[in-house]
Structure 1
């Protein structure tokens, strides 16, 4: 005796409704949002270092050290993040290779921004190190995220 097996496949109708294409957020707005995230992370870093006992009292050489307000790093990163967002928007518009130009420019700016932190007059060397590391923390968050959003080549400048 032989058995006959049959299989049936059912298909479900697909929807023919079209959805609107997703609108991309402008690079400058995206970069500002990323700067806000970087500011939050850097503010968290500041909170942890303050909890460990790092005094944020510093001044430039020749001046008396003064205490930095709590969340000072958050606002500093946010302020310079606005400048970074403007740079990102300009590079997206006018640079021939926006992504690589962004990386080179921002890494150079971070290296130069660490120098004043290392030579600032502080009450302890831990403050100098914490300030320098805070620049790196902000850069590690902001630079790659904005670079990911920028195109490798600009079709307007090809």
Structure 2
């Protein structure tokens, strides 16, 4: 358990180094840099609505889900993380919208409860992953939620 806590502390302490990118003048409020939040045109809800235009539920699904901005989660399943976050942030930027991204790969995640285990294998692997995550976003405006659970 002590080793897990030390590894987690090391990952958290490495985070500022991984994100050591000079913030822009708007870093405190990225909402001022775009025309609103990004709605992912490839979300499951959008895909369902497009595939079922005649379904009576489609207008409600569009209004309550498909047309509502929400965060996209990125983790070990995302492939090359810098490419994934870059594509998402780039699509949002092209639409002049602000993307919401969730970084979900902290090492030893949920090492006690086991309900959402996984994450990077080591603190140094996480530091590399989160640096690539941020690198994909580059200088584009974005809101990043770190490990929300």
Question: TM class by shorter-chain length?
Answer: under 0.3
TM (norm. structure 1) is: 0.26
Higher helix share: 1
Larger of the two Rg values belongs to structure: 1
TM (norm. structure 2) is: 0.27
